[in-house]
Amino acid sequence: MQPIDVVKTRFQIQGVTSDPSRYTSILDCITRMIRNEGFFSLYKGILPPVVADTPKRAAKFLVFESSKSACASVNFTGPWSLVTAGLASGTVEGAIIAPFERVKVYIQVQRQRMSEKQDSIPLRLCLGFTAGALSSLGNLPVDVAKSRIQASQSPKYTRTFPTILTVWREEG
């Protein structure tokens, strides 16, 4: 995660290409950060994700299992119940992680000037929440495949994309 995440964030918030203070490469970014801000600037923003990780995972697991149980209690079973549980847990995960991500990015770019107008914090939280929920939804098939491959004792599940296709064909 760190220091590559800090470098990635710095590149993402850069201004126009004609800006002379623009980083020209990853090495240029790292070198200038160390020279101008010190070695530990490469680790800016590491605390928020570390602090958020345990509650995020606990909430995601709790909501996923609770949602599966709720679906089963109304006889809604099968793959769509897992999709529903995954969507619910991803939504909660996004809601938990968004404020921490905002703080992390703010810390990472604290010494970086941003000339463009800042969006409001509620808008950024909403966008972060939406992005987190959508990324969880997009990650669900890969996560299911990973679990099937790891738990499989037969050659049926060996690679990610064939596993996704097999699960889709057999379970919908």
Mean pLDDT by 10 residues, the chain (172 residues): 84 74 89 88 84 83 90 89 92 88 81 52 78 75 80 79 84 76
Cβ atoms within 10 A of the Cβ of 88, count? 20
- Which tokens sit at 172? 């919908």
Pairwise CA distance, residues 123 & 55, whole Å: 23
149 by Cβ neighbours in 10 Å (0-12 / 13-18 / 19+) ranks as: middle
| pLDDT computed for residue 119 by the predictor | 64
Ranges of H-type helices in the chain:
4-12, 26-37, 47-73, 79-108, 121-151, 160-171
> Model-level pTM?
0.48
Pairwise CA distance, residues 49 & 47, whole Å: 6
130 to 38, 82, 96: CA distances (angstroms): 35, 20, 12
| pLDDT computed for residue 116 by the predictor | 43
| pLDDT computed for residue 16 by the predictor | 65
| pLDDT computed for residue 111 by the predictor | 63
User: DSSP secondary-structure letter at 3?
Assistant: T
| pLDDT computed for residue 113 by the predictor | 42
Find out whether 45 and 147 touch, Cβ atoms under 8 Å: no
45 to 10, 76, 111: CA distances (angstroms): 12, 42, 12
